[in-house]
Structure 1
């Protein structure tokens, strides 16, 4: 009986710890593409093209359920625009 309680408690703890990571992954797929497109609109054409290519791949990965890999592509897109993803999504969130 005590073993089952400990297992249930451990499982609840793991669920609580991992929940923010899943929420963060979901927000990456919702916020990042728009933020990258907005930044690419004012960027140099070559950098914008590269960033939009990464963003398109990231969106496809989101659709396929690969949120972590998509986050890497969105980060690469932001880097192509000479910024980081956190700065882009913060600007977009504060503008809304």
Structure 2
């Protein structure tokens, strides 16, 4: 019984560590309210199609959130737009340069 009392908190700590590790790459991407939308637009023009239009709508929403000083929420919109275009937010500068 006492081993269960010790094992349960350790399991909770381990689970929290894995969750934090999984979330850290998304949090590591720097969001610039000027450069990121421009990079996404460049990539959207290169990709074209309906997916690019959806991504551009997300960029416009992200820019409005930036104007409202909601950078975290804007970052989510920019990340969703990048994902629609087949890349990650962190890899966006390299993808836009190609």
What are structure 2's unaligned runs of at least 5 residues?
Answer: 1-26
Farther-moved stretch of structure 1 (43-52 vs 54-63):
43-52
Matches within 5 A, 1:2-21: none
Normalising by structure 2, what TM-score?
A: 0.63
Q: Tell me the TM-score normalised to structure 1 length.
A: 0.64
Is 1:58–2:69 an aligned residue pair?
A: no
Q: Deviations over 1:24-82 (max 9, x none)?
A: 45xx2121100000000011311100100100000000001000000000000000101
Structure 1 position 35 matched with structure 2 position 43: no
Q: Does 1:46 align with 2:50?
A: yes
Unaligned runs of 5+ residues in structure 1 are 1-20
User: If each structure's helix is expressed as a fraction of its own residues, which one has the higher value?
Assistant: 1
The count of residues paired between Structure 1 and Structure 2 equals 69
1:89 positional shift: 2.6
Query: Offset of 1:87 from its aligned partner?
Result: 1.2
Q: Which runs of 4+ in 1 moved over 2 A?
A: 89-92
Question: In the aligned structure 1, how far is the partner of 2:76 from the partner of 2:65?
Answer: 10
